[in-house]
């Protein structure tokens, strides 16, 4: 399954900051439909992702009934992404 969407980058400032893009509700519904077959511990879902021309692997994190995509530091540097930037995300979920 491949999904494409735009979203704003936001930061969770814990002991180590993490940067995320929230997956829109309509895409979350599609992911939820396959999550049982692909999820591992704590509801995490492995994906291949692209932001701009940068491809990377990560896992979707469940949050508030939906999912969020962590955006790695290497991706943020390569694409010159900062908090509140709107980015286009392409996700591939192996089903």
**Residues written for the chain:** 95
Please determine, for residue 16, whether its predicted confidence score (pLDDT) is greater than 90: no
Q: Which residue range forms the structural domain that includes residue 23?
A: 2-92
Domain count, the chain: 1
Backbone torsions φ then ψ of 83, nearest 5 degrees: -55, 140
Within 10 angstroms of residue 71's Cβ, the number of other Cβ atoms is 26
pLDDT digits (tens, 9 = 90+) for 79-95: 999 999 999 999 998 76
Model pTM score: 0.88
The CATH number of residue 70's host domain is 2.40.30.100
């Amino acid at each position: 399954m491949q999904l494409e969407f735009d979203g704003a980058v936001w930061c969770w400032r814990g002991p180590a900051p993490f940067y995320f893009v929230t997956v829109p509700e309509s895409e979350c519904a599609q992911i939820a439909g396959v999550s049982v077959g692909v999820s591992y511990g704590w509801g995490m879902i492995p994906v291949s992702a692209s932001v701009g021309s940068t491809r990377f692997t990560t896992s979707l994190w469940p949050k508030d009934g939906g999912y969020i995509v962590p955006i790695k530091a290497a991706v943020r540097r390569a694409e010159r992404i900062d908090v509140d930037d709107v980015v286009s995300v392409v996700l591939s979920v192996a089903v």
